Amino acid sequence: MALKKEQINHILRKYDEKQLKNRRELQERENEIFSTIPAIRELEQELASNAVKATKQSLLGDSNALEELKNQNQSLREAKIALLSVNGYPADYLTLKYNCPDCKDTGYITNDTWLDEEHILLSKNKCHCFKQAVVDLLYTQSGIQNAIEQENFSTFSYDYFSRTYIDQSIGISAYDNAINAVSKCETFIKNFDQSHENLLIYGNTGVGKTFLTNCIAKELLSSAHIVIYLTAFQLFDILERRKFSKAEQDYDLEEKFQGILNCDLLIIDDLGTELSNSFINSQLYLVINERLLTKKSVIISTNLPLDDLSKHYSERIFSRIASNYIMVKMFGEDIRLKKAFAP
């Protein structure tokens, strides 16, 4: 997606904030360690001194001295790690942390550190996190980044699914069904780049549909994929405004539309809650069909049973979904209510 200069500046300021925050946190960790383990401060000072010596020896061309300094530094680093470990700290406690290790929180992967904003815009080496930052900027209403910190596979619990609540149509418990659903989602993630599959996650309110989509989004974002999450209301609002905008050229709406068609994964949450009409049907078909043709994955979640889905939308929409989507049924008691009344 292309960006205006002010949008790039906004994103780059966020990267600057991340870098400052990470350096500040490292300084705090160093102050803590130097005060509690003074020997590590001495090791750090010796490493810094050796760096100066290495520069001098490099200028003099003394390869033997450089090799000796390299060995000394390795011993010093090992001694530092040993001291940290003995005192209960992880080995990387005094290492600068990055939100994105791939670009080291710069937004792009290149050795050309002199690039200014406009060059970054044109660069072919924009990091996956920069591309996702563009998505987040254009779709500020999605909020998926905050949601996936709370809702992911590490926080998913089968305890909310009853072993005695049986769905008579398929003859298994909500608990066993949840295990099957998670397995399908994990397979979807594993085969994402090869199979280009789609998911329809359906079931009653509060049975974990959105939670599952957030689990998938978290995993794919972590593996450098571009994910756009929109409720059905948000999706059709964008499509309607793009279609009927009076402005000759609405730059942001066009960029959002291109993102909907071209992102790695499009999540449409709560399909069926919007007002259905011929425009909605035509636009939904456009999105689903275009992404099928370009082998771009979609996850749809809906409260509608399959029979109602076929009545709610046109036959060609239901045909595309029935033929090209993996069905993931969720059922059970309302998890939100369980959490609300938990002791």
Span 310-331, pLDDT tens digits: 888 999 999 999 999 999 999 9
Pairing verdict, β 166-167 and 172-173: antiparallel
Q: What is the share, in percent, of the chain residues with pLDDT greater than 70?
A: 90
In a domain, 240, yes or no: yes
Instruction: Note whether 202 and 154 are same-domain residues.
Output: yes
Instruction: Note whether 84 and 202 are same-domain residues.
Output: no
Q: How many C-beta neighbours within 10 Å does residue 298 have?
A: 22
DSSP 66-79: HHHHHHHHHHHHHH
As given in the structure block, the two tokens for residue 64 are: 């033997």
> What are the Cα distances from residue 331, in Å, to 85, 268, 306?
47, 19, 13
Instruction: Note whether 82 and 149 are same-domain residues.
Output: no
Instruction: Note whether 100 and 164 are same-domain residues.
Output: no
Report yes or no: 88 and 73 within 8 Å, Cβ to Cβ: no
Interval 252-305: pLDDT, tens: 788 889 889 998 999 999 999 888 889 999 999 999 999 999 999 999 999 999
Residue 323 CB burial class (10 angstroms; 0-12, 13-18, ≥19): exposed
Cα(108)–Cα(98) distance, rounded to whole angstroms?
13
Q: What is the share, in percent, of the chain residues with pLDDT greater than 90?
A: 53
Residue 72 CB burial class (10 angstroms; 0-12, 13-18, ≥19): middle
Instruction: Note whether 212 and 75 are same-domain residues.
Output: no
For 136-166, letters b (16+ CB in 10 Å) and e give: bbbbeebebbebbeebbbeebeeebbeeeee
The confidence score (pLDDT) of residue 179 equals: 97
Instruction: Note whether 289 and 336 are same-domain residues.
Output: yes
CATH number, residue 201: 3.40.50.300
Partners of residue 60 on adjacent β-strands? none
Of residues 150 and 290, more confidently modeled: 290
> Helix (H) and strand (E) counts for the chain?
15, 7
As given in the structure block, the two tokens for residue 161 are: 């699914």
- Residue 123 pLDDT level (bands cut at 50, 70, 90): very low
Instruction: Note whether 96 and 186 are same-domain residues.
Output: no
Report yes or no: 172 and 181 within 8 Å, Cβ to Cβ: no
Instruction: Note whether 189 and 293 are same-domain residues.
Output: yes
Structural domain containing residue 334: 139-340
- Residue 117 pLDDT level (bands cut at 50, 70, 90): very low
As given in the structure block, the two tokens for residue 298 are: 């979609």
> What is the overall mean pLDDT for the chain?
86
- Work out the average pLDDT over 24-48: 91
Instruction: Note whether 75 and 191 are same-domain residues.
Output: no
As given in the structure block, the two tokens for residue 308 are: 């109602």
- Residue 120 pLDDT level (bands cut at 50, 70, 90): very low
| DSSP state, residue 146 | H
Instruction: Note whether 97 and 18 are same-domain residues.
Output: yes
The H or E element that residue 270 is part of is strand 265-271
Cα(250)–Cα(237) distance, rounded to whole angstroms?
14
- Work out the average pLDDT over 6-29: 90
For the chain, how many structural domains are there in total? 2
- Residue 111 pLDDT level (bands cut at 50, 70, 90): low
The confidence score (pLDDT) of residue 143 equals: 57
As given in the structure block, the two tokens for residue 123 are: 């660069």
Q: Which of 78, 104, 130 is the last residue of a domain?
A: 104
Side-chain half-sphere exposure of 292, counting CA atoms within 13 A: 15
- Work out the average pLDDT over 119-148: 68
Cα(34)–Cα(30) distance, rounded to whole angstroms?
6
In a domain, 120, yes or no: no
In a domain, 21, yes or no: yes
- Work out the average pLDDT over 86-91: 93
Interval 203-248: pLDDT, tens: 999 999 999 999 999 999 888 788 899 999 999 999 998 888 765 5
As given in the structure block, the two tokens for residue 178 are: 């949840």
Report yes or no: 204 and 174 within 8 Å, Cβ to Cβ: no
Interval 158-192: pLDDT, tens: 999 999 999 988 899 999 999 999 999 999 999 99
Instruction: Note whether 95 and 144 are same-domain residues.
Output: no
Pairing verdict, β 326-330 and 227-231: unpaired
